[in-house]
Amino acid sequence: MTTSVAEAVPGFTCGLDATLRVIAGKWKPLIIYFLIQGPCRYGALKRAVRGVSDKMLIQQLKELEADGIVVRRDYQEVPPRVDYSLTPLGRSLAQALVPLCNWGSDNMEAVARMFSEREQWQASPTGDR
Amino acid sequence: MTTSVAEAVPGFTCGLDATLRVIAGKWKPLIIYFLIQGPCRYGALKRAVRGVSDKMLIQQLKELEADGIVVRRDYQEVPPRVDYSLTPLGRSLAQALVPLCNWGSDNMEAVARMFSEREQWQASPTGDR
DNA sequence: TGGCCTGCCTACCTATCGGCAAGTATGCAC
DNA sequence: GTGCATACTTGCCGATAGGTAGGCAGGCCA
């Protein structure tokens, strides 16, 4: 039984639901978005996605690869050279992320303000009113 | 040192980063997206966002309210009547989610296929190759 | 010979997320 | 007074996401 129906089938409740499962994970959207710029070596990607650990980066990349969003190309060289790029599917997904990115840029100040307020609001003893 | 810089300041690395923090949480995008249709009572929202628990729904709604994305209107009636709607900021965010939703709808079959394959791939003993 | 370079892997551990279920408030109908 | 309806709260508890740290491969150059 457990969580039941909604989980049982790959029956997504809507398109957004489907998308969310693909980009679930702290770093995936950032990875995808960064790869719009073109193929990228592992090291460069790691530098671009600030704060990500090796473990996470690799893991997310693997999942994205399994989901047909990115392609891994191994040059079979030493020292290792590998790069990652978007598949056509991945590119279309990346395009869908663009508005989110723009929204963030447009409202960054508001968002930053909200966040700092929220921290205090969390620390406050009782809700007012 | 630890995680350091990236966390220290509300300095988002990019617009996408900022957006992601606002919509972080399993249900937020779904909530926001559903509210495009207009104000909605708590109960209706819960029915719409399938699988969400009271605790989560309330919690996510509070955060969204604190972030200026949704507005809670309490009719001060008994039995309780409350509805939630998007602020202008929320509405613009919702618009940015539309492409994601469309992408999901357009590629739902591919996504579903990927997911079922991935489950087996995860169960497989050693990576092939 | 041995250290370097780069991508990757593994084990371990913790914090957070999120589900479950029971409880609260309030006015009204009975 | 009792119970009902709706929105919300709280505590507990398990799963899992994600961080840390250290190790490995293997040609090459010093």
pLDDT tops 70 at residue B126: no
Instruction: Categorize the per-residue pLDDT at B104 as very low, low, confident or very high, splitting at 50, 70 and 90.
Output: very high
pLDDT at residue B31 in the model: 95
Separation between the CA of A58 and the C1’ of D25 (whole angstroms): 17
Q: How far apart are CA B104 and CA B100, in angstroms?
A: 6
Using alpha carbons only, give the angle A57, A58, A61 rounded to the nearest 5 degrees.
Answer: 85
Question: What order do you get walking across the sheet with A40-41 strand by strand?
Answer: A40-41, A82-86, A70-74
pLDDT at residue B119 in the model: 66
Please name the residues in contact with A50: beta carbons below 8 A apart, sequence gap of 6 or more.
B5, B6, B13
Q: Does B60 or B77 have the greater pLDDT score?
A: B60
* Tokens standing for residue A24: 């679930």
Q: How far apart are CA B32 and CA B45, in angstroms?
A: 10
Separation between the CA of A25 and the C1’ of D19 (whole angstroms): 14
What is the CATH T-level fold of the domain B5-103, as seen in this structure? Answer: Arc Repressor Mutant, subunit A (1.10.10)
Residue with tokens 């073109």: A38
Alpha helices in chain B, H assignment, sequence order: 5-8, 15-22, 28-35, 42-48, 54-66, 88-106, 108-123
pLDDT at residue A105 in the model: 95
Residues in chain B closer than 8 A to A18 (CB atoms): 104-105, 107-108, 111-112
CA dihedral in degrees (A108, A113, A117, A122; nearest 10)?
A: 10
Q: Does domain A10-123 have CATH number 1.10.10.60?
A: no
pLDDT tops 80 at residue A49: yes
- A61-120 pLDDT tens trace: 999 999 999 999 999 988 899 999 999 999 999 999 999 999 999 999 999 888 887 766
**Residue A35: burial class (beta carbons within 10 Å; 0-12, 13-18, 19+):** buried
Give the closest residue to B35 by CA, choosing from B86, B87, B72, B78: B86
- Report CB contact under 8 Å: A111, B12: yes
Q: How far apart are CA A46 and CA A31, in angstroms?
A: 9
Mean pLDDT, chain A, integer: 85
pLDDT tops 60 at residue A8: no
B82 touches strand C (CB under 7 A): no
Mean pLDDT of A26-37: 96
Mutate to test the interface with A, among B2, B30, B52, B108 (most CBs of A within 10 A): B108
Q: How far apart are CA B90 and CA B61, in angstroms?
A: 12
Residues in chain A closer than 8 A to B106 (CB atoms): 15, 92
